[in-house]
Structure formats: structure tokens, C-alpha cells
Structure 1
């Protein structure tokens, strides 16, 4: 009986910790083209949107407001923008929540078995990204990995290791090793 209680307590703490990490990543995550978000306005079914994908410019259309530029903003910033826009003319005290449903893909090419685009997952490292791509080929070099960050306007490749954190939109290239 005590063991079961202890197990449930540990499991509960682990789940709480993982949801806190996800909430933290959502609070600093900058939206961009390809992200899918959910907008909920408490008590207003017509203003709540279950699923909306940001277009190529990082914009979505919202009732009564029109086009909303989400690119480069966090979900909390979109919540605030929608709350301010709906307040007064449309609603007295709107309660808006915005959450990220699907993150944009990251891309991996070079010496992996299945190169291509894969859905981003919070906490993703290059090691896990390689696993999603079927693993390394026989010719792969773990010392010659470059990553181009989607957020980097200069698109300059930087050296990476298998422990490097992967972000949505990143492009990863794994080169051949010389034998």
C-alpha cells in the first residue's frame, strides 16, 4: 500500500515537472510560418478556433479583427493582442488563451537513413532528431554536423554535437566522415 502511494507520488511529480517544462517552452517559443495554434475565448464559441495554421508570412485571420501578425510573437503576446482588440467594442472582459498545437518541422539531411522534415517536439536534441531520421549511415561523421537556425537571419551554419538542442525550423546537415 505504501509502495503504491509512493509510486503515484513520484509519477505525479514527474508529470508535473514535464508539463511545467512544456509550459515554459511555450512561453518563450516564438511563432512562425507553419505553426498550428488554438485560440479559446471563454464563453464565446464563435470566437474560439480549434485549429489554425499560420500562413507563409506568419499571419492568421481572426473574426472582427482581420489579419493578425503572429510571426516572432509568443502565444502570451498573441493572447494579450487579441484581448486588447476584443475588449470594449466586442466584449467587456474577454478571457483569451492561445496554445501551440503543432510546431513547425525541422529538417535533417546528409548521412542519415531517412532525410527529410520531421515534426518538432519540445526538448528535442540532435541525438533524438537523428533517431527520428532512422539513425546515422555507416559513413556519417558525428564530428562534422552543422545546423542552421531558423531564427538566424544570416543563415550561417554553426557546428553542432549530438547533444545540441534542436529548434523548430532548424536545418541540420550531417556530413560524411573521412576514413
Structure 2
């Protein structure tokens, strides 16, 4: 009896640790999220309303920020943007600025091909290919669910790859649901 109780506790420990690892992996992937054109962010500097703003990143990827001029944000993570603004404000203007950057809206993803309503849709964290297709009205009768491709831009280069319906998408992805042949 005592051995089975220890086995149960060991099993539960492994399960809890597995969930913890998955949660941390999800947080790490979002902490590595690189900003792109179309993302809407909020920059807050505690106690400095004139330095706080909400802005949608333009195609060029730069914004005009007070006391710093043009600042390129596309390709940076939220932590990198916070550090960049902190360093830019620290010194002459503020002694120890408290900077916080959050995403208000992610850039949209696009889905085309064999879905009922192809087009651009707002990204939401946790979207799989299947959920994205559901937002687009579902698959058509001719959809090849095993032949779905995504074009994703990273670090200025685009790459295309085949995905499964359960794979997660990212903001800015272009999903193509190919047609199957009978």
C-alpha cells in the first residue's frame, strides 16, 4: 500500500512538472516574440504621461519617440524595446525611468485557398491552423487538410513550410489551404 501511494505521488509530481515545463515553454515563445509592422503597442513610462503612448507599427518599422527621435522597433522583443527606451531616457531627463511595453493588438494573419471566407483576421494567442480556418468560415469540401502551407517572415526573410491542422500560427502568417483532388 505504501509503495503504491509513493508511486502515485511520483506520478503526480511528473505530471505537475510536465505542465509547468509546457507553461514556461509557452511563455518563453511569447517573450521571444518579435514585433512586426501592424502590431499595436503601448509604451508606458511611470509618472511621465508625455512619454507614454499607443502606436501601431508602420511598414517602415520605426516610430518617432520623444527625446529619442526615430526608433526602429520591428524585429525587437518587448524586453528589448523596454531596454532601448530605458537607455534612451536615462541620464539627462530621467534618473531611473520605469518603462513598460505591452502588445495591444497583434498584426493580423491571412488565410486563403480552400476556406469559405478567405482574408485577413485579427491574431489571438493560442490560434491553431484549425481554429484559424474556423474563423474563416471553415474548410470547403475540396480542402486538403494534409496540404496546408504557411509563409512566415522572420528577420526580413520569408520561408514557406507545410503544417498540420493542430500546429500553432503566429501573427503575420499567410496560411494557404490547398485543394485536394479526388
**Smaller-chain TM-score bracket:** 0.7 to 0.9
Per the alignment, residue 149 of structure 2 pairs with: 146
Unaligned runs of 5+ in 2: 1-19
Structure 1 ranges of 4+ moved more than 2 A: 19-26, 152-157
Matches within 5 A, 1:34-73: 34-49=38-53, 51-73=54-76
**Would you say how many aligned residue pairs link Structure 1 and Structure 2?**
161
Matches within 5 A, 1:2-151: 24-49=28-53, 51-151=54-154
Secondary structure of the structure 1 residue equivalent to 2:97: coil
Q: Distance in 1 between matches of 2:52 and 2:24?
A: 25
Change (3 A) 1:94 1:154: closer
Secondary structure of the structure 2 residue equivalent to 1:155: strand
2:156 matched to 1:158?
Answer: no
Q: Distance in 1 between matches of 2:25 and 2:44?
A: 22
Secondary structure of the structure 1 residue equivalent to 2:81: helix
Instruction: Determine if contact 1:26/1:100 at 8 Å carries over to the other structure.
Output: no
Change (3 A) 1:153 1:81: closer
Change (3 A) 1:20 1:62: farther
Q: CA deviation at 1:136?
A: 0.2
Secondary structure of the structure 2 residue equivalent to 1:157: strand
Change (3 A) 1:23 1:173: same
TM-score by length of 2: 0.82
TM-score by length of 1: 0.84
Deviation by residue 1:47-73 (Cα, 9 ceiling, x = unmatched)? 111x20111021111111111101110
Instruction: Determine if contact 2:41/2:104 at 8 Å carries over to the other structure.
Output: yes
